[in-house]
């Protein structure tokens, strides 16, 4: 487990990272999300020891991270750093050796990773002859070659086509399933949404929200429901506590107001929360005719993001 505890860092007057705390748990993919300049790269550099924090600590397995421990971390920096003339496989193996691996093991891991990442055919091409997306895959192989105990990846999906995203996803998932904590930053909320188990949302250097994806959806998502009936569903807007979001003939999407009185005018028992109130709407709908579909609408990550940032 990686624990970031009250880490702060300023550049001159700018407090780029402000009392940031979060965990990256074993076997979990943790998405690190925030707008440009919100402090993701600075936080990652502090975890990796590339940059010093002004205050706060980073713990790995309950101990302060030392340089020796960091050797066991895998890092893909934002600024990609490959040797353009070196062949892809040679390069990955070389970086493995810099992490203290034996030559044979480094070469074996490099070949296996390039294969997994769909680059086996290009293994002997100099990096400069590869497309940018393929260079990125080599960079990901370089972060993984020494079988790191922790993975920190800065924007690993930017610039990848959808197929490449799937390939990289499966490689990272595979590592996570072997118990490796994975922290990755991304602007692509749809990718983060699909991939991560946990999320840390950062805004202006501070953590705006964090937790498992499902917890955040429950916590920040409005109590939104969708109802589909046979006739016009416009009557829903008159139910107490309902805020209509969208009406399309027989289909209504609405939020339930937590504060409003329960909808007992429609025959439902007085209720204490939206959990009962949504049943009041359902009963009201059933009194009018058949109900084709009814249920909560799960908010997307970008909706949560808009709410907390």
Ligand X SMILES: Nc1ncnc2c1ncn2[C@@H]1O[C@H](COP(=O)(O)OP(=O)(O)OP(=O)(O)O)[C@@H](O)[C@H]1O
Kindly list the residues in this chain that would bind ligand X in the complex (CB under 6 A): 11, 14, 16, 34, 36-42, 78
Nearer to ligand X, 37 or 270 (CB): 37
Nearer to ligand X, 70 or 187 (CB): 187
Q: Tally DSSP H helices, then E strands, for the chain.
A: 10, 14
Task: Provide the minimum distance between the beta carbon of 11 and ligand X in the complex, in angstroms, as a whole number.
Answer: 3
Task: Provide the minimum distance between the beta carbon of 187 and ligand X in the complex, in angstroms, as a whole number.
Answer: 6
Contacts of 252-257 with C-beta under 8 Å, sequence gap 24+, read 252/226, 252/227, 253/224, 253/225, 253/226, 253/227, 253/297, 254/224, 254/225, 254/227, 254/281, 255/222, 255/223, 255/224, 255/225, 256/223, 256/224, 256/225, 256/281
Task: Provide the minimum distance between the beta carbon of 240 and ligand X in the complex, in angstroms, as a whole number.
Answer: 43
Q: Please give the Cα distance from 222 to 67 (Å, whole number).
A: 45
Indicate the burial class of 158 (C-beta count within 10 angstroms; 0-12, 13-18, 19 or more).
middle
Task: Provide the minimum distance between the beta carbon of 119 and ligand X in the complex, in angstroms, as a whole number.
Answer: 26
Nearer to ligand X, 40 or 87 (CB): 40
Task: Provide the minimum distance between the beta carbon of 204 and ligand X in the complex, in angstroms, as a whole number.
Answer: 9
Nearer to ligand X, 183 or 236 (CB): 183
Q: Which residues pair with 14 in a beta bridge?
A: 11
Task: Provide the minimum distance between the beta carbon of 223 and ligand X in the complex, in angstroms, as a whole number.
Answer: 31
3-class state of residue 123 by DSSP: coil
Beta strand residue intervals within 71-141, DSSP E:
73-76
CA angle 50–11–72, rounded 5-degree value: 15
Nearer to ligand X, 15 or 194 (CB): 15
Nearer to ligand X, 45 or 224 (CB): 45
Indicate the burial class of 240 (C-beta count within 10 angstroms; 0-12, 13-18, 19 or more).
middle
Nearer to ligand X, 32 or 254 (CB): 32
How is residue 30 written in tokens?
């943790």
Tell me which residue has tokens 């294969």: 115
Task: Provide the minimum distance between the beta carbon of 220 and ligand X in the complex, in angstroms, as a whole number.
Answer: 20
């Amino acid at each position: 487990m990686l624990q970031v505890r009250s880490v702060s860092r300023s550049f001159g007057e700018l407090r780029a990272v402000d009392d940031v705390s979060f965990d990256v748990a074993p076997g979990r993919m943790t998405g690190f999300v925030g707008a440009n300049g919100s402090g993701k790269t600075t936080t990652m550099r502090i975890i990796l020891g590339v940059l010093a924090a002004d205050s706060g600590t980073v713990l790995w397995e309950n101990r302060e991270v030392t340089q020796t421990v960091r050797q066991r971390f895998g890092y893909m920096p934002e600024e990609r750093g490959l040797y353009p003339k070196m062949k892809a496989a040679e390069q990955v193996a070389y970086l493995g050796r810099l992490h203290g691996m034996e030559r044979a093991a480094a070469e074996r891991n490099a070949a296996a990773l390039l294969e997994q990442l769909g680059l086996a055919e290009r293994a002997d091409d100099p990096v400069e002859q590869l497309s940018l997306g393929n260079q990125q895959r080599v960079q990901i192989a370089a972060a993984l070659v020494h079988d790191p105990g922790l993975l920190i990846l800065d924007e690993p999906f930017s610039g990848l086509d959808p197929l490449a995203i799937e390939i990289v996803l499966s490689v990272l998932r595979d590592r996570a399933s072997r118990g490796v904590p994975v922290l990755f930053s991304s602007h692509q909320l749809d990718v983060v949404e699909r991939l991560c188990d946990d999320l840390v949302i950062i805004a202006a250097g501070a953590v705006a929200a964090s937790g498992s994806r499902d917890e955040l959806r429950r916590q920040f998502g409005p109590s939104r429901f969708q109802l589909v009936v046979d006739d016009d569903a416009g009557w829903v807007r008159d139910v107490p506590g309902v805020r209509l979001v969208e009406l399309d003939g027989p289909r209504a999407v609405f939020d339930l107001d937590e504060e409003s009185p329960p909808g007992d005018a429609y025959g439902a028992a007085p209720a204490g929360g939206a959990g009962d109130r949504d049943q009041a709407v359902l009963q009201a709908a059933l009194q009018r005719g058949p109900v084709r579909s009814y249920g909560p609408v799960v908010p997307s990550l970008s909706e949560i993001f808009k709410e907390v940032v």
